[in-house]
Structure 1
Amino acid sequence: MKYGISKNYGNGQWLESKGELIDVYSPVNGELIAQTYNSKKEELDEIVEAATIAQQAWGALTLKKRSEVLYSYRNLLLKHREELAVINHEENGKSMGEAYAGIDKAIELTEFACSIPQLAAGEIEEVSRGVVCRTERRPLGVVASITPFNFPVMVPHWTVPNAIAMGNAIIVKPSELTPLSAAMMAKLWKEAGLPDGIFNIFNGGKDAVEAISDHPQIQAVSFVGSTPVAQIVYKRATSNLKRSLALGGAKNYLVVAPDAHPVSAPSDIVASATGMSGQRCMAASVMVMLGDSEHILDSVVEKITAQKAGVDIPPIVSMESIAKIENYIENAEKLGAKILVDGRTQKHGPGYNFGGTVIDWRGLQDKMPLEEVFGPVLEVVEADNLKEALEIQQASPYGNAGSVFTQNGRVSDEALRGLQAGMLGVNIGVPVPREPFSFGGIKGSKYGFGDITGKLSLDFWSHLTKITTKWNTEEKADWMS
């Protein structure tokens, strides 16, 4: 094994576990590259206890003082950019270009956290003669972040830098498929000068998630993953009187008008559908053809047909995921859908490779399952007019992203008003906002209030304390004085 055992991390130390070992295989070549623990629930106590003690001193520091560590950490991310990208590539299967993009986004997210001393500054006002009200943000204590396999570096940086900047200690539960990036993060936080006990790792699967959701000293839990699990985590954490923000899956619709740009539109649609092998909650899932858009579809089919699995499309994270994608395609065939491009023909080793797929549901679109595929699969439906196209999207139980491809301003405006999603785009296949704008969907794509990044995340990771002070004055102006 190239990387050995990826251990738990608490109070600045690498910790053994009594739990069974989980093998970690690289999607790139199918080789065993590491192992991690399926940790026992009771092993979380030691990590939380040390984190609770460490957080008291960390939370007592000023925002400005805490941000100094964040600046150092940001510079270390930049210094170790290539090493992190290689780890990302090997454990997740991302192409090196995609891996670098994930690291760069993590750096951007950390830079946002460095600006928190300016963003979290409290308000103050003399509300009456001699009476002053002010607000300040105070940390929650020990918090947790449960992160997915598809972005082992970027997604933890949605939560970790902001939570730490706000004065919390945090426990990260990475996916058991991709534990190595979190271990690298621990090393960089320690080198940056973060006190022991503030950044921690608790490895495992279902038992680890349940232990975090149930632990009485953990004040808040964030989660990113599939919708069914997001629902479970949100219900379990909130039933234990924690605050929780759980992001689920998505099935994102792209409305394509006949006047969509004939070159850029197909390119953006394909990049969204098959980029990162479709394993992202912002991937294009369904192309809604508005009117006569056949020429756009022809170009999309041509481009996906030309892509090579393992070269243009990175590997799928596991053979189990490939089996789920294959089952979806087989079911679509049974229901009568046409397979315009079949990724199963490019299923080959040694890595977990699978080709781009286009499924045509036109004439049968009421039979198209509403479930998320989470692979390089684009489904096609049609609409006679924009109203009908929007109704198709609105019927989705998810609400992460929605886009419209058109060169007509009126069509764009109407689509933006009607699309029901938290992140919308015009002529953009992946409408992810940049910092300081926040990331977050609606409907079945998010459970909890607020967004996981940007300014709204500060509310999640802190208490807003309101303070009123009164100094007696000779002149009584009103009742508050």
Structure 2
Amino acid sequence: MKYAAIQNYINGQFISSSSDRMLDVISPVDGSHLSTVPLSNNQDLDAAVQAAKVAFPIWSRTPIKERVQVFFRYKALLEKNLKELALLVQEENGKTYDEAVAEIEKGAELSEFACSLPQLIPGEVLEVSRGVECRTEHVPLGVVASIVPFNFPSMVPNWTIPNAIALGNCMIIKPSEKVPLSVGRLADLLQEAGLPAGVFNIVHGDGDVVNAICDHPGIEAVSFVGSTKIAKLVYQRATSTFKRCLALGGAKNHLIVLPDAIPSMTAQNITASMAGCAGQRCMAASAMVAVGPVDHIIEKLCEEAQKVVPGKNLGAVINRASKERIERYITEAESQGAKVLVDGRSPKVEGKENGTYVGPTVIDYVRPDMAIAQEEIFGPVISIMRTNTVDEALAIENANPYGNAASVFTQNGGMARYVMDKASAGMVGVNVGVPVPREPFSFGGWNESRFGVGDITGKSSIEFWTKLKKSTTKWNPEAGINWMS
């Protein structure tokens, strides 16, 4: 075991769980044993909630201009420790080093945005009647929780940590039990940046802790990122106890390719979107809808896909179960008549034979009714469906239940606008494989990719992590009595 047994982080200290249930943490890179993680219980969660409740009165009354100073320092610490943090992400998640670096850099960008919050949430004041003023201000909720997935061990936690805490809340985070190491290092850096004890806490565990978070009366709001199946359950359970909840689910992102698209740019962008982070991201290109004669672009796509080599510029998928599930989708589609143009099943990675890799896979002549065309694969696989018109392509995109992302590849501005207007997705792109907006624009999909109101990052997150207080004041008795009195 490379690392010491993982502990919870409560009230500024790493402490052992009161549970004796443990889970091995295995690196998907080479199958090595990294550590063990506790599957915590209600007693552990209660301790974290209590620590956060004790810290909340002082932290919430600290002026926001002072609170964000923590995140100025935290951003600098992320950058200072970038290499170490990236190597840790690579080790526990399996992505390439360059992808892990990009993840840490995005965390720094998210922290930078949090530092701008004092300029974004000043209250409004208006003299509504002679001598009478109305005022609004954003007030923190209290103790909040964030449940995060395995695919971005550092970045997705930073979707919520900086904004929620800078806005005055105290947080409990539940990392994925598959990748529990990175969040512990973030706790170290937050403490080094000057965050008071109890403001940020970590409780490790599995579904039992997720349910306990949804049920706990001391938690005011829950954010979740994961599969749509679990997102629905979390949203239903959390809101049934009258909590705020924003639960982000899965996706099936469609890239509509027109014949006039630039072949090299299109192929490079689709390949990067499909294979980046081994396809384990909710913004990955999963379905390409080819409109008319685009064989020249598909040929170029296959050439680009073959440049992506497992173990070199393509990372591993998270575990053996994921590898087997992804490869089953490919085999099933092939048996149903689809044509595998680039086959990534069972690649050999020298020196990493125990790693869990799937090579880039391009499948043509996929029908919309096939499972591979409808379900989230979460692997480096692109399914090509063929249509004759843009409206047919949009019908396929609109019929899918998800709504994270959609892109169109074309040089026709009018056609691009047409697709952007009609695509049923919260994030759309033109000639962009991964249309994720940069800060201060927020991240969030539609339909069954998101449950709840608002987005998880950017300006939209302010409404989720705060409540609005409205005050009316009158100081001059000579103003008289009117309907405002």
TM range (shorter): over 0.9
* Corresponding position: 1:365 with 2:368: yes
* Corresponding position: 1:16 with 2:16: yes
2:444 maps to what in 1?
Answer: 440
Picking from 378, 387, 403, the partner of 1:383 is: 387
Matched residues in 1 for 2:89 and 2:369: separation?
39
CA apart distance, 1:475: 4.5
Deviations 1:25-65 (A, max 9, x none): 11111100111111112221111111101111100111111
CA apart distance, 1:478: 5.4
Matched residues in 2 for 1:247 and 1:139: separation?
22
1:307 maps to what in 2?
Answer: 308
Please tell me the residue identity of whatever aligns with 1:303. Answer: E
Q: How does 1:464-479 map to 2 (within 5 A)?
A: 464-476=468-480, 479=483
What SS does structure 1 have at the residue aligned with 2:220?
strand
Matched residues in 2 for 1:120 and 1:209: separation?
31
Matched residues in 2 for 1:367 and 1:460: separation?
37
Deviations 1:259-290 (A, max 9, x none): 00121111001000011100000000101001
* Corresponding position: 1:227 with 2:228: yes
What SS does structure 2 have at the residue aligned with 1:155?
helix
Matched residues in 2 for 1:366 and 1:44: separation?
44
Matched residues in 2 for 1:256 and 1:408: separation?
12
1:321 maps to what in 2?
Answer: 322
1:428 maps to what in 2?
Answer: 432
State percent identity of aligned pairs: 53
* Corresponding position: 1:480 with 2:484: yes
* Contact 1:221/1:242, CA 8 A, preserved across alignment: yes
* Runs of 5+ consecutive residues of structure 2 not aligned to the other structure: none
Matched residues in 2 for 1:180 and 1:130: separation?
57
CA apart distance, 1:473: 4.1
* Corresponding position: 1:187 with 2:188: yes
2:117 maps to what in 1?
Answer: 116
What SS does structure 1 have at the residue aligned with 2:478?
coil
CA apart distance, 1:352: 1.3
Deviations 1:329-373 (A, max 9, x none): 1221232222111111415523212101112234x3333441100
* Runs of 5+ consecutive residues of structure 1 not aligned to the other structure: none
What SS does structure 2 have at the residue aligned with 1:6?
coil
Matched residues in 2 for 1:480 and 1:240: separation?
36
Deviations 1:206-228 (A, max 9, x none): 11111111111000000000100
Q: How does 1:28-39 map to 2 (within 5 A)?
A: 28-39=29-40
Matched residues in 1 for 2:59 and 2:201: separation?
14
1:374 maps to what in 2?
Answer: 378
Deviations 1:157-198 (A, max 9, x none): 110100101111100100001011100011011111111000
Segment of structure 1 superposing worse, 99-108 or 13-22? 13-22
* Contact 1:128/1:478, CA 8 A, preserved across alignment: no
Q: How does 1:166-245 map to 2 (within 5 A)?
A: 166-245=167-246
Matched residues in 1 for 2:24 and 2:5: separation?
9
Please tell me the residue identity of whatever aligns with 1:177. Answer: K
CA apart distance, 1:392: 0.7
Matched residues in 2 for 1:155 and 1:19: separation?
28
* Contact 2:361/2:382, CA 8 A, preserved across alignment: yes
What SS does structure 2 have at the residue aligned with 1:297?
helix
Q: How many residues align?
A: 480
CA apart distance, 1:307: 2.3
Q: What is the root-mean-square deviation in Å for CA atoms of aligned residues?
A: 1.2
Segment of structure 1 superposing worse, 183-192 or 70-79? 70-79
* Contact 2:274/2:285, CA 8 A, preserved across alignment: yes
Deviations 1:301-349 (A, max 9, x none): 1221232111121111111110110121122123222211111141552
User: If the length of structure 1 is used for normalisation, what is the TM-score?
Assistant: 0.98
Matched residues in 2 for 1:475 and 1:469: separation?
12
2:79 maps to what in 1?
Answer: 78
Please tell me the residue identity of whatever aligns with 1:294. Answer: D
What SS does structure 2 have at the residue aligned with 1:266?
helix
2:283 maps to what in 1?
Answer: 282
* Corresponding position: 1:402 with 2:403: no
Q: How does 1:119-130 map to 2 (within 5 A)?
A: 119-130=120-131
* Contact 1:245/1:449, CA 8 A, preserved across alignment: yes
* Contact 1:404/1:427, CA 8 A, preserved across alignment: yes
What SS does structure 2 have at the residue aligned with 1:346?
coil
